[in-house]
Structure formats: structure tokens, C-alpha cells
Structure 1
Amino acid sequence: MGILSWIIFGLIAGILAKVIMPGADPGGFIVTIIIGIVGAVVGGFIGSLLGFGGVDGFNIGSFLIAIFGGIVVLFIYRKVRA
């Protein structure tokens, strides 16, 4: 269930990351959602390494980890593309 949770949370995290960090992103809405999916995977990986747990189910902790990962990846994406 892990990877499926990451993808679902990633879709939502990408949208919320865009709301939290508004700005003109190359690629538009679809790229932002893809960044959210990647961010959820990254957030799950970082959360697991730090002992917070990963994105392992539909709960608030996993959701927050996915949003955090989405914001991190969106920030990095903007710095690389600028």
C-alpha cells in the first residue's frame, strides 16, 4: 500500500504545495502535481530516515509528510529552473 499512498497523497500534496507556495512554475498545473507525487515519495523517504515513519497509510502524519516533501521538491524545482 505504500507506493499507492504516496501517489494519492502526492496528487493532493502537489496541489497544496502550489497553494502554499504560489508562483509561476514552468509546466503549469500538471507539472506541479507530478512534483507533488515525487515530493510525497521524497517526504516518505526522508521521514523514514529521520524516524518519523513514511507514507504508510491514509492518516494525518502521512499526509503532512507528503505535503512537506511536495514543498521541498517544488522549492528545489524552482531554484533549478530559475
Structure 2
Amino acid sequence: MLNFIAWIVVGGLAGWIASKIMKTDASMGVGLNIIVGVIGAVIGGWVVSFLLDADPELFSIGGFVTAILGSVILLAIVKALTGRK
């Protein structure tokens, strides 16, 4: 249960940072930040494991940066598909 809560907290923080980077924070709420962050962490984990043959850990700087990177990628895809600038 504690690991699940940790994923939500880390995902929310990663989603919030990514929304600041992509300038979509005004249109996103806390719930969407968490969803984007968790999905972004999964995307980032896939990208890193594919490119570097690595498995980032949840509670490491590299894992957190990977979650942010994945969240930024996810937001960029959503912005491209919806036509938002």
C-alpha cells in the first residue's frame, strides 16, 4: 500500500513539473497531474529501458528525471493531437 501511495506522490510531482515545462499547468488540476505523472513515468521507463538497457528505480534521481521526461513526452503528444499551443 505504501508503494502505491509513493507512486501517486511521485507521479503527481512529476506531472506538475512536466505541466510547468510544457506550460499546460493552468488547464490541469491535481488529478490530471497525477495521471500524467504516473503514465509519464511508465513511458519514461520504457524509453530509458529501450535506449539504455536500464531499469530506473522509483526513488532515485534518475527515476524521477525519467518520470518527468516521460510526462513531458506524454504532454507533447497530447498537445500535438489536440492542436493546443
Short-chain TM bin: 0.7 to 0.9
Which consecutive unaligned segments of at least 5 residues does structure 1 have?
A: none
Distance verdict in 2 for CA 1:12–1:54, change over 3 Å: farther
TM-score in terms of structure 2 length: 0.74
- Identity between Structure 1 and Structure 2 (%): 36
CA distance in 1, matches of 2:76, 2:33: 11
CA contact (8 A) 1:10 1:36 kept: yes
1:49 is matched with which residue?
Answer: 50
Q: Size of the alignment, in residue pairs?
A: 78
1:31 is matched with which residue?
Answer: 32
CA contact (8 A) 1:17 1:70 kept: yes
Which consecutive unaligned segments of at least 5 residues does structure 2 have?
A: none
CA distance in 2, matches of 1:57, 1:14: 15
Residue 55 of structure 1 deviates from its aligned partner by: 3.4
Distance verdict in 2 for CA 1:44–1:8, change over 3 Å: farther
One-letter amino acid matched to 1:31: L
Residue 8 of structure 1 deviates from its aligned partner by: 4.0
Distance verdict in 2 for CA 1:52–1:59, change over 3 Å: farther
Q: What do you get for the CA RMSD once the two structures are aligned?
A: 2.2
